[in-house]
Each structure stands twice: as C-alpha cells, then as structure tokens.
Amino acid sequence: MWYAKMYFSEKREFFQYDATGTQGVPNVSRELPFLESLLSFLELDCGALAPALRQIGEAWNRLIAEDDRQAGTNAMVELAQLKQRHIYLELLYVRWYDRFSRMGAFDNRGSEEDRQMLDELLSLPEQLPLYQRRIQRFFELVLDVDSAGRDPQQQASRSYLYDAPRDPELFTFRPIPLSFEPVEPGRCSPVLYSGGIRDMIDYSLRSCVERDITVRRCKNCGRWFPQTGRVSAEYCERPVAQGEQTCREMGAFQQWTKKQSDDPVFKAYRKEYKRRFAWIKAGRVTDKEFYDWSKRAREKKAECDSGILSLEEFTAWLKRS
C-alpha cells in the first residue's frame, strides 16, 4: 500500500513517504522551513515542465491502454528527472512508482484507480499554473499582510460563502484526508495522508489561516516569506546568495548602519574616534591610552544617548578629553 504524509510542527514542515511502496511505513523524510514547499512551488516555472509532463502522460496512457511496458519505463525515467525540481513532484514520482511496481503479469490495468491517475497526470500541465494563480490570489486577498491585512481569519471569512470563494480566481477548498497524531515528543498535529499536489496546497493555505500566519515579500530578496514570528518582520530567514548570512541578519545590519549614520551623537563620537585612532600611527598616543580613552568616550556617549548629557556637552567633552 502506498504511504505518504505531510505535517507542520512549529516553524518546520515535514514530508514522509514509503519510497518502495512495500513497507507501509515512511522510510524517507524531508524537512523544510514552514511553508517553503508552497512558496517554492509558486516560483516554479510550470511552462518549462509542461512538455515533459505531456510526454509522461502520453507514455502512461500507452502503458494503460496498450500494455506497453517500455512506455511505462520511459514514463518513470522522465518522472524521476522531474522529481528533483520540487518536493510535490517527488511525491508524484513516488505514487506513480508504487503503481508501476505493482503492475505484475496478472494485474488488471485500466482499473478505476488507473483511469483517475491517468486523468490527473494528463491535466497537470494545465492545472499547475492554475494552482499558482489561485494561490497568488489567496495571498492577495487573505494572507498578504500588506495587501489583505493582519487578520487572516477575518480576511478568509469575508472571501468565502460556505466553502465557495466569492472571487472566481480564488483557491477553492475541498475535503482532504487529514488525521491527527503525535508528531514529536509532547506534540500532536493534524497530518495529511496524501501526496496529491492539490491536497498539499489546500492543507498549506488552510494551516496559515488557522495559525494566523501572514506572508510578505522580503525587503531584500523579494521572495514571499511566512511571518511565523513578529508581524512587523520585513526580511525572510533564507541565506543570502549561498552565504552564511540570512536576509534578516543583513537587513538588521543595514538598518543599524542607517540609524547610526543619521545619529548626530554617533557621528560626533565616530569622528573623534577616527582622529585619535590616527594618533596611534603617528606615535602621539599608545594603544593603551587610545583604548582607555575610547572606553571613557563610550560611557559618555551612553550618558548622552540616555539624556544625561546634551549633544553640546558631549562634543565639548570629546574635544577636551
């Protein structure tokens, strides 16, 4: 029996599946930051995937209709290529691999299950970009803190009549196979038992609303990110261009620098600091004298920052110290 599940826990999301389809328990586990699968799906170039998906659909059709095993093998090879592109496609591969490996000599191809799987595969080139547009609209009307507002529950309840979206471009929710179980020591969570792309999107969007999580475009990299912490967060926590630093760390540093350069107290301190630092090289002061001075100057600066000293008093002290 084929087996895959997805769940959220704190700021992470988890995917587990039975890679061979024979164990009945998950033996592969993938862990991502919360909502990363949905956000990276939004950035996927579905137009580029369409030709390969069409070929796979046609090959699978030949397998089902004409018992063409070679076509089936080709379909699986192509699917294995696609699975590198996204976790949703990885789960797609696993589901098809399971069906393919169960097709023995006595298997009756063309069952209801086979027809459904074929329909699903053939519709993917059209469906994937459609899902992207529906998610985009859901962001605009419900989740995006800048365009929709800070309260996803309010925004979602305004946007639907029962389970029908009021805007025809908006994502439509449907019943999905959810269970509920311990997912780590001391914590239970709803768990999705499905590797269907539509189900995983559905589960991700409703989880954001249930958990009051808004999204925003990162001020540094421009990609969407979930606001799992403060709603005022402006930067994502992804690393900047393969570096160690995240957008959030870089943003914090830039803001600090900007704040400092606008601050007259810091400017006065910095100017005097540079002047005296040059004295070390010129031999006018020793290292120790300089560092003693800079320690006292920082204390005076702190007094000025807290209002004990005026800016004039502080600059006068800098001159005569």
List contacts with Zn ion (CB under 5 A). 218, 220-221, 236, 247
Q: In terms of C-beta density within 10 A (0-12 exposed, 13-18 middle, 19 or more buried), how is residue 29 classed?
A: exposed
- Cβ proximity to Zn ion: between 94 and 247 the closer is 247
Q: At its nearest, how many Å lie between Zn ion and the CB of residue 223?
A: 6
Residue with Cβ nearer Zn ion (221 or 252):
221
First-last CA distance in the chain: 80
Q: Which is nearer to Zn ion, 35 or 318 (CB)?
A: 35
CB 76 within 8 A of CB 102: no
Amino acid at site 150? R
**Smallest distance, Zn ion to C-beta of residue 219, A:** 8
Cα 114 to Cα 64, 111, 264: the distances in Å are 7, 5, 72
Give φ, ψ of 211 to 5 degrees. Answer: -95, 5
In which element (H, E) is residue 54 found?
helix 46-66
Nearer to Zn ion, 32 or 221 (CB): 221
Closest contact distance (angstroms) between CB of 68 and Zn ion is 47
Q: How far is the CB of 297 from Zn ion (least distance, A)?
A: 36
Q: Evaluate whether 59 touches 71 at the Cβ level (below 8 Å).
A: yes
CB atoms inside a 10 Å sphere around CB 176: 17
Q: What is the nearest approach in angstroms of Zn ion to the Cβ of residue 149?
A: 22
Select 224 or 317, whichever has its Cβ closest to Zn ion: 224
